[in-house]
């Protein structure tokens, strides 16, 4: 299908008229005295997936001179081409290689009337950093965006990030009716852009049943030197154009809608990656994941887990369907790091914020040093912080006044490390700085220690001196500092088992470091503690919320894991105990996360209290 809502020359001319208007006093003046050199790429979109290049004439080169003026231009190779008055020069190519061979980057010299030797330097890559893409809506079987003409419609598109540094960066959304400009929205900024990523189509503007053409343009350009021509404007740059069609027909009732799109991820070779799509429909939708346009056998759940040889770089998307029809998610890219020596993503900090007290109230955090084939020890910074939490900027109430920290190797009742009052020692101050931990006042009664930990499990306990109670944070930091590899010892697991008071929240935090994303399994377990381990007072229905601590955004929720097969398989792979079956009300999430700080928070549904365990596992 070819979509060409506006003749090519008119499209390119409109781009330059718009850009010139940004730098000139008025649009009328700009049309009479602007010069331009442009490269462009034309694509089309027929689904939520990434646009594809037009099969022919996808790449373009154009030169513009002022109206009613004849002239010429000379390429970097010295080839001169004459231009008649009011005749824009344009050439089309099927590939970028052909375009670059004919019109390479470099100095283009323009002559117009009495003006000569205007040099326009066309860079090697003048294009925007992003391909335009419509990100909203339902597409029909003919590749048209379905819009209910009786309702207001918000047409959304992705961000044109490169116009931030482009003095004449530009975004335009245009809708055509039989080749005529029908609706249009233009966004630009020279210095402090406020990106607009949507356009509102008012109710009643589209005629029911009629097809419309559409075009989304991203332009990245800069002003060229035309100071020898008073009042003239010179433009040099690149443009991406995505063409699409709209059909003024409401989507079928009950058709699935996608509320959460899968996200692209960069992972270390051989690592596990998880893509998830969130969708609703009536009846409940079915799922089929694809790599490109090829269906992946057995990938028929809302979550796709790829590992080992199956984690092939490329674009992945999900077709969501029911009896009313189907919709396709955006593409999510599985990427491998491009820089040599990129460190794989890993857990570099684990923490638990909770009340602690005597007996069963004692805060105990479990962790593991592991890694495939890991050998040697991992240097750690461990802390139990109470008093400092009560001061600015934290201002936490009811803190533990004097925490005592102890570390126990797995299977041992004898602490290998203990500390009561860290004492402000220079080695610890330097270690805090090295791992990015907030500093502690030298005279505070917080506790901290350094430890070279061998592979295996260990527990950190934080008690109050004199059987005191209060809120405290237990922290473990990877202090290795040096570059890490897939086989280097690292933190691989965090867990804590504690009683949660009615209405209270248990929070476990972690930080992913390195240069790639890392997959983690996070679980909040209550009912299985009672059925499998006989623990009394277990939380009957834990709810798990997951946050990005850097932005404060809630990014995932689970209340009842429902026996999801990918959670069962992954739990077995990382050595987690089995949950009690699909009917149990435990909660779990499996996510691939980019480097950053995160927290998992557990509450009882309806504010109920009870004993629960929260766990975080690295998934290789």
Distance from C-alpha of 370 to C-alpha of 601, rounded to nearest angstrom: 25
Phi-psi label, residue 277: left if phi above 0, alpha if psi -120 to 50, beta otherwise: beta
Q: Are 92 and 9 in contact (CB under 8 A)?
A: no
CB 93 within 8 A of CB 62: no
pLDDT one-digit tens code per residue, 80-127: 999 998 877 999 999 999 999 999 999 999 888 877 888 888 988 888
- Please return the burial class of 589, using the count of CB atoms within 10 Å of its CB with bins 0-12, 13-18 and 19+: buried
Contact 252, 324 (CB under 8 A): yes
DSSP summary character for residue 125: -
Residue 86, φ and ψ in degrees, nearest 5:
65, 20
Query: Which segments of 475-545 does DSSP mark as H helices, in order?
Result: 527-533
Residue listed under structure tokens 């390429």: 75
- Averages of pLDDT over runs of 10 residues in the chain (620 residues) are 36 44 34 75 89 90 87 94 88 94 93 82 86 86 93 84 56 89 69 64 95 90 59 78 95 88 93 95 95 94 95 93 88 88 92 91 93 80 98 96 96 95 96 96 97 94 94 96 76 94 94 96 97 95 96 94 96 96 96 97 96 96
The pLDDT of residue 554 is 94
**Looking at residue 131, what is its pLDDT?**
85
What CA dihedral angle connects 218, 275, 319 and 153, to 10 degrees?
-40
Closest CA relative to residue 71, chosen from 17, 40, 33? 33
Alpha-carbon distance of 364 to 186, in angstroms, equals 57
Task: Find the helix or strand (DSSP H, E) in which 17 lies.
Answer: helix 8-23
Predicted structure pTM score: 0.74
* pLDDT (0 to 100) of residue 403: 97
User: Residue 258's pLDDT is what?
Assistant: 87
Strands (E), 438-552: 447-454, 456-464, 470-478, 490-500, 506-513, 518-525, 542-548
Beta bridge partners of 198: 156
Q: Phi and psi dihedrals of 98, rounded to 5?
A: -65, -40
**pLDDT reported for residue 168:** 55
Peptide bond into 437 cis (omega under 30): no
Q: What is the pLDDT of residue 111?
A: 87
296-338 pLDDT tens trace: 999 999 999 999 989 999 999 999 999 988 888 888 999 999 8
In angstroms, what CA-CA distances link 200 with 148, 176, 434?
13, 15, 50
Please report the domains of the chain, with CATH numbers, ordered by start residue: 8-59+125-247 (no CATH), 257-335 (2.60.40.10), 346-619 (2.60.120.380)
| pLDDT reported for residue 186 | 67
Long-range CB pairs of 336-339, under 8 A, 24+ apart, other chains included: 336/266, 336/267, 336/268, 336/269, 337/266, 337/268, 337/515, 337/516, 339/515
State phi, psi for 591 to the nearest 5 degrees.
-145, 145
């Amino acid at each position: 299908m070819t979509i060409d809502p506006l003749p090519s020359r008119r499209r390119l001319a409109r781009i330059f008229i718009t850009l010139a208007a940004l730098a000139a006093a008025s649009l009328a003046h700009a049309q009479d005295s602007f010069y331009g050199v442009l490269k462009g790429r034309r694509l089309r979109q027929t689904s939520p997936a990434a646009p594809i290049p037009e099969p022919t004439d996808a790449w373009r080169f154009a030169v513009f001179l002022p109206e009613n003026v004849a002239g010429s231009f000379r390429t970097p190779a010295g080839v001169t081409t004459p231009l008649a008055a009011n005749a824009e020069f344009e050439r089309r190519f099927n590939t970028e290689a052909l375009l670059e061979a004919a019109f390479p980057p470099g100095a283009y010299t323009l002559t117009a009337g009495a003006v000569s030797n205007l040099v326009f330097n066309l860079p090697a890559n003048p294009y925007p950093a992003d391909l335009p893409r419509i990100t909203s809506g339902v597409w029909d079987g003919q590749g048209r965006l379905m819009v209910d003409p009786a309702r207001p419609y918000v047409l959304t598109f992705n961000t044109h990030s490169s116009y931030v540094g482009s003095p004449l960066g530009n975004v335009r959304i245009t809708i055509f009716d039989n080749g005529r400009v029908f609706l249009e929205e233009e966004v630009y900024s020279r210095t402090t852009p406020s990106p607009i990523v949507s356009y509102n189509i008012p109710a009643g503007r589209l005629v029911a049943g009629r097809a419309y053409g559409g075009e989304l343009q991203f332009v990245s350009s800069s002003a060229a030197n035309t100071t020898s021509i008073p009042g003239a404007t010179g433009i040099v740059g690149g443009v991406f154009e995505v063409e699409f069609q709209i059909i003024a027909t409401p989507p079928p009732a009950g058709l699935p809608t996608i509320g959460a799109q899968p996200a692209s991820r960069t992972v270390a070779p051989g690592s596990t990656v998880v893509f998830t799509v969130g969708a609703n429909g009536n009846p409940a939708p079915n799922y089929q994941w694809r790599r490109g346009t090829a269906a992946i056998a057995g990938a028929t759940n809302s979550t796709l887990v790829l590992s080992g040889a199956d984690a092939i770089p490329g674009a992945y998307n999900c077709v969501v369907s029911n009896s009313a029809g189907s919709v396709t998610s955006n593409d999510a890219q599985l990427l491998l790091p491009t820089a040599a020596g990129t460190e794989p993503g890993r857990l570099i900090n684990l923490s638990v914020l909770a009340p602690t007290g005597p007996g069963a109230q004692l805060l105990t955090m479990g962790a593991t040093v592991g890694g495939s084939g890991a050998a040697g020890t991992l240097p750690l910074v461990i802390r139990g912080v109470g008093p400092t939490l009560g001061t600015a900027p934290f201002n936490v109430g009811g803190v533990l006044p004097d925490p005592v920290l102890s570390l126990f190797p797995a299977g041992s009742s004898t602490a290998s490390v203990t500390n009561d009052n860290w004492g402000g020692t220079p080695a610890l101050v330097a270690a805090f700085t090295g791992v990015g931990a907030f500093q502690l006042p030298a005279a505070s009664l917080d506790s901290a220690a350094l430890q070279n930990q061998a592979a295996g499990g260990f527990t950190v306990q934080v008690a109050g001196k004199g059987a005191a109670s209060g809120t405290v944070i237990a922290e473990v930091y990877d202090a290795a500092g040096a570059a890490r590899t897939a086989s280097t010892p690292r933190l691989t697991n965090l867990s804590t088992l504690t009683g949660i008071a009615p209405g209270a929240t248990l929070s476990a935090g972690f930080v992913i470091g390195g240069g790639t994303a890392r997959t983690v399994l996070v679980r909040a377990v209550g009912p299985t503690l009672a059925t499998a381990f006989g623990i009394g007072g277990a939380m009957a229905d834990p709810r798990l919320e997951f946050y990005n601590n850097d932005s404060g955004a809630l990014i995932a929720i689970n209340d009842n894991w429902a026996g999801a097969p990918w959670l069962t398989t992954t739990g077995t792979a990382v050595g987690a105990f089995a949950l009690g079956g699909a009917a149990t009300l435990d909660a779990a999430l499996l996510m691939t996360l980019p480097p950053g700080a995160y927290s998992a928070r557990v509450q009882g549904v309806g504010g109920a209290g009870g004993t629960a365990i929260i766990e975080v596992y690295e998934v290789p």
